[in-house]
Amino acid sequence: MSNVGNMLRLARQRKGVTQKAAASGLGINQPVLSRFENGAADPDDALLVKAAQVYEIPRAFFNLKDPVYGPAVSVHPMPRAKASVTARDLDMVTAELNIRSMQLRRFLEGVEYSPEYDLPRFDVESYGTPTKVAALLRAHWRLPPGPIRNLTTLVERAGAVVAHSDFGGASVSGMTFAVPGLPPLILLNRQHPADRMRLTLAHELGHVIMHKFPTPNMEDEAFEFASTFLFPPNELRSRLRGRKVTLQLLAALKPEYKMSMSAVLYAAKRESVITPNQNRYLNIQLSKRGWKLREPSTLDFPHEIPKVLSSILTTHEKDLGFSIDDLLNFVPMYRQEFDALYGAFGSEPPNKPRLRIVN
């Protein structure tokens, strides 16, 4: 069966265009485009040339034979009710993840990525609670007590690939895509402050470790995992025992554990270190200062930078002799879009992951 329809749909969805609007731009009726995308009929070359122009992608894109996968098990939306993820958003982000996975598969054909740890599967139903799973994972990875210095590096050393995206402006904090034969790909919203990105990454790690299939409680479970993985209950109780929890204390703990003040407050409530009335009062104080939306910039810390993809691209360029045009042809796209996905590259990132060239 031809794969042209899948690629035609993927090209449209990555632009966030409805089928009706796309059909109008292509000069055909929507039912005709629907038949093409569903594989009921094959478009002629003239239509594909036109689609390449409309979707701003090379004509060769439609020749790809890669499987196209549906939405990820989890989509981590931004907090608060106003941030909803529409069907268009989901299509657009899923298209980006498919394209990135196609590229990653080709990138890994030339190099071997050797993780230092593994990504175990701990089914939350078997182990009781996300808190127990978080403690088990810390023990499995032999993490020392205290804050996790760089969560992105830790996750990448365990075999996942982390990248940043703007998600086309969609109200998404993070998303994990796991397809056969590839390491999990975790995307984080690059517009978010570093503390939120770390919490989102821990949240997505929870999905990778605990969830093979969607469940009604999976988002709450992933959030509990993230909170207890970053700030274990015994450490939190030890740090806060006998101390009055104030905004000043939350602010002092933020740069140490690299969690937002709100996240630390949630952890304190989680462990019943504070009373419901204290929690309510402190949340009101955070809201009055506007810190629920954006905490003081004086407490900001640098974003963690993923290194696996940049190392792979640098290895292709410096060691394997690929040009940027060669890389653009792996999964045909124009330079502007490639740069939007991967940024500039060409210098060796510090502490790069272990890569071995495949002969």
Domain termination residue (choose one: 48, 65, 82) = 65
**Would you mind telling me the total number of residues written for the chain in this entry?**
359
With respect to residue 302, please indicate whether it lies within any of the assigned structural domains.
Answer: no
Percent of the chain with pLDDT over 70: 92
- Identify whether residues 218 and 96 lie together within a single domain: yes
* Same domain as 152, residue 14: no
pLDDT digits (tens, 9 = 90+) for 223-282: 999 999 999 999 999 999 889 999 999 999 999 999 999 999 999 999 999 999 999 999
Say what the pLDDT of residue 75 is.
Answer: 62
Domain enclosing residue 136, as ranges: 69-229+307-359
Q: Do residues 106 and 214 both lie within one domain?
A: yes
Asked if residue 195 and residue 259 are part of one domain, the reply reads no
Q: Which of 65, 84, 102 is the last residue of a domain?
A: 65
Q: Compute the average pLDDT of residues 43-52.
A: 96
Asked, for residue 321, whether it belongs to a domain, the answer is yes
Question: Per-residue pLDDT for 81 more than 60?
Answer: no
- Model confidence pLDDT, tens digit, residues 108-156: 998 888 899 999 999 998 998 999 999 999 999 999 999 999 999 999 9
| Whether residue 78 sits in one domain with residue 6 | no
- End-of-domain residue from the set 297, 316, 342: 297
Q: What is the mean pLDDT of residues 197-206?
A: 97
> Does residue 110 share a domain with residue 179?
yes
The pLDDT confidence band at residue 346, using thresholds 50, 70 and 90, is very low
Q: What is the pLDDT of residue 168?
A: 85
Q: Residue 82 — very low, low, confident or very high, per pLDDT cuts 50/70/90? A: very low
74 and 200 within one domain: yes
Mean pLDDT of 56-64: 97
94/146 same-domain check: yes
204, 320: one domain: yes
Query: 262 and 118: one domain?
Result: no
- Tens of pLDDT, residues 300-337: 999 999 999 999 999 999 989 999 999 999 999 999 99
Residue 222 pLDDT: 95
Task: Write the secondary structure of the chain as one string of H (helix), E (strand) and C (coil).
Answer: CCCHHHHHHHHHHHCCCCHHHHHHHHCCCHHHHHHHHCCCCCCCHHHHHHHHHHHCCCHHHHHCCCCCCCCCCCEEECCCCCCCCCHHHHHHHHHHHHHHHHHHHHHHHHEEECCCCCCCCCCHHHHCCHHHHHHHHHHHCCCCCCCCCCHHHHHHHCCCEEEEECHHHCCEEEEEECCCCCCCEEEEECCCCHHHHHHHHHHHHHHHHHCCCCCCCHHHHHHHHHHHHHCCHHHHHHHHCCCCCCHHHHHHHHHHHCCCHHHHHHHHHHCCCCCHHHHHHHHHHHHHCCCCCCCCHHHCCCCCCCCHHHHHHHHHHHCCCCCHHHHHHHCCCCHHHHHHHHCCCCCCCCCCCCEEECC
User: For the domain that residue 56 is a member of, what is the CATH number?
Assistant: 1.10.260.40
Same domain, 319 and 181: yes
Checking if the pLDDT of 347 tops 70, the result is no
Looking at residues 82-98, what average pLDDT do you find?
84
Number of domains in the chain: 3
| pLDDT confidence tier of residue 359, bands split at 50, 70 and 90 | low
For 221, the token pair is: 């479970």
